[in-house]
């Protein structure tokens, strides 16, 4: 049929129904495809979640078998959950850094012009602080060495003026020698002596109040003053070494200085820290 120059086509009703059904079928097929695609994506998502859960179970089982501390695994899980923030994971949260064992090395009878400067240099090289129990007469002979001792951080103690041994008949003389030595040290360093090592260990506790001083004896005595065997001196000291021990040596002999360096090197490797006697007595 043609009207005003246009061709009009009319489909009978059955043909229109066929077209509608065809469109409907195409639409349903697309919907079905979308549903299938959605199912596949959902399956992949669920599979991934299952795989992650199984991996976490396996990881936890491994950590339990390896006895990893709980706090450490917490750090690991937290790092996994937040990868943007860097988390420190310690190797062992139960580890405690061991403290160094303190020990004191002391030298009596100095200062000695021939031996003490060498000793001081060796102590400086090793970054070790020692305690020197000086005699007053040697302080007066070697004031520059006393000043060096003090300036390098060593503790200066009192060993009387002439190395006198206390007995029943010389109590006042003994006391005067301690006071004289303390004054000699103070004139050089600006500070008197607070610690005293009585020669041969002879002491009267009343002096502690009268002089306001603390006596310091010793734990290890290798008798270096009567031995030139460096190895024997070293072995005697190292075998007797223990925490908070006080070592007695003398800076009057080259063998004692040599032994002192070997003792320091060996005990340092064994974890000892050399300190002055006040750190032993009062820390």
> Residues near 114 by Cβ (< 8 Å), separated by ≥ 6?
254
Catalytic residue among 75, 250, 265, 278: 250
pLDDT tens for 110-128 read: 999 999 999 999 999 999 9
The pLDDT of residue 11 is above 80: no
Instruction: Yes or no: say if 146 and 107 are a contact pair by the CB < 8 Å rule.
Output: no
**Residue 257 to residue 183: CA distance in whole angstroms:** 27
Lowest mean pLDDT among 62-76, 175-189, 215-229: 62-76
pLDDT tens for 51-75 read: 677 767 766 665 555 554 444 445 4
Whether 108 sits among the annotated catalytic residues: the reply is: yes
CA 59, chain centre distance (Å): 34
pLDDT tens for 28-49 read: 666 777 777 777 777 777 777 7
Label residue 156 by pLDDT band (50, 70, 90): very high
The pLDDT of residue 182 is above 70: yes
Label residue 18 by pLDDT band (50, 70, 90): low
- Tell me how many degrees the CA angle 106-109-110 measures, rounded to the nearest 5: 85
- Give the residue among 90, 136, 71, 80 at the shortest CA–CA distance from 109: 136
pLDDT for res 39: 72
pLDDT for res 43: 74
- Average pLDDT estimate for 241-250: 98
pLDDT for res 68: 46
Whether 75 sits among the annotated catalytic residues: the reply is: no
Label residue 231 by pLDDT band (50, 70, 90): very high
pLDDT for res 71: 43
The pLDDT of residue 254 is above 50: yes
Mean pLDDT of the chain, nearest integer: 84
Supply the pTM of this predicted model.
0.67
């Amino acid at each position: 049929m043609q009207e005003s120059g246009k061709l009009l086509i009319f489909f009978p009703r059955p043909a229109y129904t066929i077209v509608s059904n065809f469109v409907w079928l195409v639409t349903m097929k697309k919907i079905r495809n979308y549903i299938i695609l959605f199912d596949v994506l959902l399956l992949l998502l669920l599979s991934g979640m299952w795989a992650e859960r199984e991996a976490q179970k396996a990881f936890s089982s491994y950590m339990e078998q390896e006895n990893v501390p709980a706090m450490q695994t917490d750090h690991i899980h937290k790092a996994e959950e937040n990868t943007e923030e860097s988390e420190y994971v310690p190797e062992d949260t139960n580890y405690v850094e061991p403290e160094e064992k303190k020990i004191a090395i002391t030298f009596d009878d100095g200062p000695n012009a021939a031996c003490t400067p060498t000793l001081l240099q060796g102590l400086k090289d090793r970054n070790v602080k020692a305690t020197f129990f000086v005699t007053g007469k040697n302080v007066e002979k070697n004031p520059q060495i006393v000043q060096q001792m003090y300036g390098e951080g060593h503790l200066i103690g009192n060993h009387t003026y002439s190395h006198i041994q206390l007995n029943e008949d010389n109590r006042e003389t003994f006391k005067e020698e301690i006071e004289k030595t303390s004054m000699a040290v103070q004139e050089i360093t600006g500070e008197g002596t607070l610690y005293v090592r009585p020669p041969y260990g002879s002491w009267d506790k009343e002096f502690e109040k009268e002089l306001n001083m603390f006596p310091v004896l010793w734990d290890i005595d290798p008798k270096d003053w009567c031995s030139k065997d460096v190895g024997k001196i070293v072995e005697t000291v190292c075998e007797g070494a223990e925490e908070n021990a006080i070592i007695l040596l003398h800076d009057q002999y080259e063998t004692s200085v040599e032994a002192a360096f070997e003792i320091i090197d060996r005990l340092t490797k064994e974890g000892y820290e050399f300190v002055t006697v006040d750190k032993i007595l009062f820390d």
